[in-house]
Amino acid sequence: MALDTVAIAQSNPDSSQPFAELGLKADEYARIKEILGRRPTSSELAMYSVMWSEHCSYKSSKVHLKQFGDKAVKTDALLVGIGENAGVVDVGQGYAVTFKIESHNHPSFIEPYQGAATGVGGIVRDILTMGARPIAIMDPLRFGPADALDTRRVLPGIIAGVGGYGNCLGLPNIGGEVVFDETYIGNPLVNALCVGVMKHSDIKLAKAAGAGNLVVLYGAKTGGDGIGGVSVLASETFDATGPAKRPAVQVGDPFVEKVLIECSLEIFAEDLVVGIQDLGGAGLSCATSELASGGSGGMKVELDRVPLRDATLSPEEILMSESQERMCAIVEPKHINRFLEICKKWDVTVTVIGEVTDGERLEITWHGDLIVDVPPRTVAHDGPVYNRPLAKPEYIDRVNAEIIEVPRPETADQIKATVLKLAATPNLADKTWVTSQYDRYVQGNTIQSQPDDSGMVRIDEKTNLGVAIATDANANWSYLNPYEGAKLALAEAARNIATAGAKPLAVTNCLNFGSPEDPGVMWQFAESVRGLADGCLEMGLPVTGGNVSFYNQTGSVAILPTPVIGVLGVIDDVRTRTAMSFDRAGLELYLLGDTADDLAGSEWAYMHGQRGGKAPIADLQREMRLIDLLVAGRTSQIFTAAHDLSQGGLSATLTEMVLRHNVGAEIDIENVGTTLISESPGRVVVAVEPTKATELQALAAKQQIAITKIGITGGDSLVINGADISLTELRKAHTETFEKLFG
């Protein structure tokens, strides 16, 4: 390719350009010409095409995501909101915590190990970029049916990739999800969450301010990784005839990122940067345009100074490269020597590639020739905004009208069979096969991890201040009622924080949907966002940031709408947290919350081939009262244990509780045929010493939460209404599944 410069673009304005192949629509191409007053150079075209892709520009989702800002609750706790690399919240004692969840779905289908690994790498860099030390990760994962051939292809690689990258970074994996459903075959969902901690004064933002300040690229050298990956992969669905496009997938090196983390934290500790951005999707195109936009607006970059792994790369390719483990910092000239020294100590490649200017243009040269001259905001922020058509899909009314017909466990034999069946089904089975591939101990601050309701990390060793995080989604409910589904997932994640006694504080989200060009999908998306925004406002929880992943579909069949909600909470003393389960006999067990006939969207209904019905209607006021009850109960140390109810209902919750420390329970419940398997939201099972029972009843009355005594702990069995299930048999059913499937 002969070099295409600004001068050449001005002199041959009608030269034809492959904008369509790069993913731009004709009107978008026209708009670029309008912005520049000429045709773009091929480098500029590359930048716009990547930055204006769905994945980078959020063009289909922006109009809806606005609600998170518009409906945001006013709170002093939010230190950095939506728009930066990650949101930051104040957790007390001068600490700020930053967390975010992101997706890396399509690359993980193509190359499971590297797709998952670089997904982890990317979200960790986002957290690092805020000035924080990353302290934990979580991985909500969704796959096709557990016994499907393609699941066996992708699952082991994805788990190995999450573990391989996260373990090598020294980040404990404190939780996640593994969900199987036909809907994800061909479109596995790999969402990765990272949380980091810092002092308030450490917060860094992505802006290039101060003319004369230096633009410094450090980290790995640039190669041909993932060229066009972002715009091509994430903005197009897979062809049903097979992956016709095979663009380069990014390959990660966690050792390089670990060194990058330590090097960066030393740089931050000495306050050597004015602004910083990591290079993720759209690589240098993104970093330069975002930094320039965030600052005064002007930047000059000499692209030929970028250190390369592959000397044959063209300027367009360098701009689009998604080589991993790279960061871009803005450094005052007086600090550059110290910056370089620290990089040398850690053996990190570092190069000054440009400087911040007085003007309002981003200018990039290649061996002296000007190849990019754009207003940076038009690349990074003022991309196209679509108001895509939405239409309520015809399936909704039809499916909502379906009546659920499932066997109800009434007799002892039926109860036993039901409990064992639920314990063994892949969605509810023991996940040790997965979680034992993750290091949960490194950094020595993990208080809770899988299979607890939430991950919990201590952030101050003297005061025992800690944070808890949980992620949840219920695609079945979102399918039946996207508005309520999002609210219900929010409530569940918040409840999962509260069972340990932590107080929910902030929200992140990863919205996984099909094609936004399908009005039905767009309606699901709009409803989900509306539900989440309304829910967050009602619960007083700010959305700090998140991620949208569209085009999760094969051909015309979209995945079930899967908004994954992450909630972060704070606990003043991790030593006082409420454990998930009990380790002794003689405790009284209570079910908090009302149980209705909520089988629609349940695991039991799914196992019987029924996906219809009406999703529950979220009662967030009641959820909030329950959360307050759980937090108050922890403060007063009423609970010995508390565990959330969700998929699998009471059956799954009791199974998990008795197996945790191998202590059985004797349970007696009314209307067992429904109570055992219903998935009504807003419920928790708690275990208390008999001496605390009165206090518990009083607290429940005060919070207006229904409370039912359901049994006592002890013995070698889980006995429900006389049905005796030995712990040995229950453990076998629960733990065999993953070994048989993937071992």
Partner 1 sequence: MKVGVVTFPGTLDDRDAARAAARAGTTSVSLWHNDADLKGVDAVILPGGFSYGDYLRCGAISRFAPVMEKIIDAANGGMPLLGICNGFQVLCEAHLLPGALTRNHELHFLCRDQKLEITNNQTAWTSSFKVGQEIVIPLKNGEGSFQCDDATLAMLEGEGRVIARYVGENPNGSRNKIAGITNERGNVVGLMPHPEHAIDTLTGPTADGLAFFTSVLTAMVK
Is residue 634 at the binding interface for partner 1, with CB under 8 A as the rule? no
Q: Which member of 250, 264, 365, 446 binds partner 1 (CB under 8 A)?
A: 446
> Contact at 8 Å (CB) between 504 and 627?
yes
- Pick the closer one to partner 1 by CB: 75 or 443: 443
Stretch that binds partner 1, among 12-20, 224-232, 395-403, 443-451 (CB under 8 A): 443-451
C-alpha distance from residue 77 to each of 130, 217, 457, 651, 721 (Å)? 16, 33, 19, 38, 47
CA angle at 646 for the pair 640 and 652, rounded to the nearest 5°:
70
Question: Given the complex with partner 1, which of 409 and 466 has the nearer CB atom?
Answer: 466
* Using rule CB under 8 A, residue 178 touches partner 1: no
The answer to whether 386 touches 399, Cβ cutoff 8 Å, is no
Residue 206 backbone zone (phi > 0: left; psi -120 to 50: alpha; other: beta) = beta
* Interacting residues with partner 1 between 549 and 588 (CB under 8 A): 574-575
The interface region with partner 1, picked from 94-102, 289-297, 444-452, 691-699 by CB under 8 A, is 444-452
Which is nearer to partner 1, 35 or 160 (by Cβ)?
160
| Residue 148 or 442 with smaller CB distance to partner 1 | 442
Nearer to partner 1, 345 or 392 (CB): 345
> Could you say whether residue 437 binds partner 1 (CB under 8 A)?
yes
Give yes or no for residue 256 binding partner 1 (CB under 8 A).
yes
Q: How far is the CB of 428 from partner 1 (least distance, A)?
A: 22
Of 314, 351, 414, 443, the residue at the interface with partner 1 (CB under 8 A) is 443
Nearer to partner 1, 163 or 531 (CB): 163
d(CA 467, CA 502): 8
Contact between 170 and partner 1 per CB under 8 A:
yes
x-marked contacts with partner 1 along 377-416 as a string, rule CB under 8 A: ----------------------------------------
- Our CB check for partner 1 shows the closer of 14 and 347 to be 347
Q: Does 346 participate in binding partner 1 (rule CB under 8 A)?
A: yes
Span from 56-64, 158-166, 582-590, 726-734 in contact with partner 1 (CB under 8 A): 158-166
- Nearer Cβ to partner 1 (170/519): 170
Q: Which is nearer to partner 1, 80 or 136 (CB)?
A: 136
Pairing outcome for strands 173-180 and 189-199: unpaired
φ and ψ of 107, to 5 deg: -60, -30
Among 163, 223, 315, 561, binds partner 1 (CB under 8 A): 163
* Shortest distance in whole angstroms from residue 506 CB to partner 1: 24
Contact flag: residue 507 with partner 1 (CB under 8 A)? no
Distance between CA atoms of residues 598 and 711, nearest Å:
22
462 touches partner 1 (CB under 8 A):
no
C-alpha dist (Å) from residue 402 to 182, 231, 398, 675: 20, 40, 7, 21
Least separation, in Å, of the C-beta of 253 and partner 1? 7
Nearer to partner 1, 58 or 143 (CB): 143
Query: What is the Cα–Cα distance from 364 to 372, expressed in whole angstroms?
Result: 5
Q: Which residues contact 704 (CB under 8 A, 6 or more apart)?
A: 622, 625
| 436 is an interface residue for partner 1 by CB under 8 A | yes
Separation CA 503–CA 571 (nearest Å): 6
Span interacting with partner 1, options 189-197, 391-399, 432-440, 665-673, rule CB under 8 A: 432-440
Residue with tokens 């994954």: 564
Q: How many CB atoms lie within 10 A of CB 438?
A: 25
CB contact set of 2 (below 8 Å; sequence gap of 6+): none
Asked if 349 is part of the footprint of partner 1 (rule: CB under 8 A), the reply reads no
Nearer of residues 81 and 223 to partner 1, judged by Cβ: 223
Shortest spacing between CB 441 and partner 1, in angstroms: 4
Comparing CA positions, the residue from 544, 654, 536, 641 lying closest to residue 73 is 536
Token pair for 215: 């633009």
Residues in the chain: 743
Interaction between residue 254 and partner 1 (CB under 8 A): yes
Q: In the annotation, is 64 catalytic?
A: no
Q: Which residue has the tokens 């300040």?
A: 213
Q: Report d(CA 424, CA 430) in Å as an integer.
A: 8
CA distance 471 to 188: 17
With CB under 8 A as the rule, give the number of residues binding partner 1.
32
283 touches partner 1 (CB under 8 A)? no
Q: Is 309 in the site for partner 1 (CB under 8 A)?
A: no
> Which residues touch 327 (CB under 8 Å, ≥6 apart)?
125, 128, 129, 217, 218, 219, 260, 264, 276, 277, 278, 279
Binding to partner 1 by residue 445, rule CB under 8 A? yes
- Rounded Cα distance between 144 and 375, Å, is 44
Q: Is 734 a catalytic residue?
A: no
Candidate ranges 83-91, 157-165, 645-653, 683-691; the one touching partner 1 (CB under 8 A): 157-165
Place of tokens 């101060």: 210
What is the per-residue DSSP string for 675-724? Answer: HTT---SS-EEEEE-GGGHHHHHHHHHHTT--EEEEEEE-SSEEEETTEE
Residue 249: partners with Cβ closer than 8 Å, 6 or more residues away: 107, 110, 111, 114, 115, 118, 225, 226, 229
Give the residue with the Cβ less far from partner 1, 463 or 554: 463
**Shortest spacing between CB 574 and partner 1, in angstroms:** 7
439 binds partner 1 (CB under 8 A): yes
604-633 residues in contact with partner 1 (CB under 8 A) are none
Tell me how far, at minimum, the Cβ of 740 lies from partner 1, in Å.
Answer: 15
Six token digits for residue 222:
């640039």
Q: Examine residue 490 and tell whether it contacts partner 1 (CB under 8 A).
A: no
For position 139 contacting partner 1 by CB under 8 A, the verdict is no
Q: Quick one: which of 190, 136, 127 has its CA closest to 159?
A: 190
For the record, the structure tokens of 8 come out as 């050449």
Tokens of 490: 């929010």
Q: Which is nearer to partner 1, 170 or 715 (CB)?
A: 170
- The answer to whether residue 430 forms part of the interface with partner 1 (CB under 8 A) is no
Catalytic residue among 64, 104, 106, 643: 104
Among 167, 515, 674, 713, binds partner 1 (CB under 8 A): 167
Examine residue 210 and tell whether it contacts partner 1 (CB under 8 A).
no
Determine, following the binding rule CB under 8 A, whether residue 358 of this chain makes contact with partner 1: no
Closest separation in Å from C-beta 273 to partner 1: 21
Q: Smallest distance from the beta carbon of 657 to partner 1, in angstroms?
A: 19
Question: 330 in helix, strand or coil?
Answer: strand
Decide: is 715 part of the binding site for partner 1 (CB under 8 A). no
- Which window, 250-258, 498-506, 638-646, 713-721, contacts partner 1 (CB under 8 A)? 250-258
Among 209, 248, 265, 442, binds partner 1 (CB under 8 A): 442
Give the closest residue to 551 by CA, choosing from 261, 187, 257.
187
Q: Is 168 in the site for partner 1 (CB under 8 A)?
A: yes
Alpha carbons 581 and 642: distance in angstroms, whole number: 6
Adjacent-strand bridge partners of 278: 327
Q: Does 259 bind partner 1 (CB under 8 A)?
A: yes
Q: Is residue 164 a contact residue for partner 1 (CB under 8 A)? A: yes
Q: How far apart are the first and last CA of the chain?
A: 50
Active centre residues (catalytic): 55, 104
Which residues sit at the interface with partner 1, rule CB under 8 A?
Answer: 160, 163-164, 167-168, 170, 253-256, 258-259, 345-347, 435-447, 458, 461, 574-575
